Structures are given as C-alpha cells and as structure tokens.
Amino acid sequence: MISVTDNGNGIPQAVLDKIFQPFFTTKPSGQGTGLGLSMSYEIVTKAHNGELKVENTEGEGATFKIILPI
Ligand SMILES: Nc1ncnc2c1ncn2[C@@H]1O[C@H](COP(=O)(O)OP(=O)(O)OP(=O)(O)O)[C@@H](O)[C@H]1O
Ligand SMILES: [Mg+2]
C-alpha cells in the first residue's frame, strides 16, 4: 500500500463524488485535463487489480491510497 497525504484544503463533498470521472476538473479552463485521477484509477484497478481510495478531511487535506495485490 502506497499512501500519499497532502496538507491542502481537502476535497468538498460535492466534488468528492466526481473526482474519478474522466474530464472532471475544478482547475481553471485550459489548466487541468481532469484526467489525472481517472487514468490513475483505471491503471491501479484494471491493469493491476488493485484499489485506489481517498480519505478526506475538508479544510485539512486529502490522503490517496494505492493498494496493490502481492
Ligand atoms: N489532493 C487534492 N486536494 C484537493 N482536491 C483534489 C485533489 N486531488 C484532486 N482534487 C480534485 O479532483 C479534481 C480532479 O483531479 P484530476 O487529477 O483528475 O484532474 P486535475 O488535477 O483537475 O487535472 P490534471 O490531472 O490534468 O492536472 C481536481 O480538479 C480537484 O478538484
Ligand atoms: Mg490532477
């Protein structure tokens, strides 16, 4: 398991439901593809049969966990 935690603003609940959808981004027009997390999700779950989970504390940051089978 690989866990990455940041100390950003966290992810608002309304946004959290959509972060793994292709082309979903809250970045300004022209700055984000919205593909980072959807591609990561596909690679981890489909190519490696793993799990990609997010744990979130609004206002305090987010943790992403990549869980790979042995
Ligand atoms: N660590 C994080 N903290 C807060 N919000 C996040 C975090 N990671 C992702 N998000 C939210 O999820 C959205 C989708 O993320 P994703 O990586 O798929 O696309 P993006 O970062 O917007 O674009 P790109 O990957 O092309 O730079 C982001 O626009 C942002 O709203
Ligand atoms: Mg991204």
Report the predicted TM-score, pTM, of the whole model to 2 decimal places: 0.93
Q: What are the chain's domains?
A: 2-67 (3.30.565.10)
18-60, pLDDT tens digit by residue? 999 999 999 999 999 999 999 999 999 999 999 999 999 889 9
* pLDDT for 69: 97
Whole-angstrom CA distances from 28 to 2, 22, 32, 34, 68 are 29, 16, 7, 11, 33
Confidence of residue 4 (pLDDT cuts 50, 70, 90): very high
Atom of ligand 1 nearest to the CA of 34: 19
| CA separation for the pair 54, 45 (Å, rounded) | 14
- 4, 11, 54, best to mutate for ligand 1 pocket (most atoms within 8 Å of CB): 11
Q: How far apart are CA 68 and CA 35, in angstroms?
A: 21
Amino acid of residue 12: P
44 alpha carbon – ligand 2 mean position (Å): 15
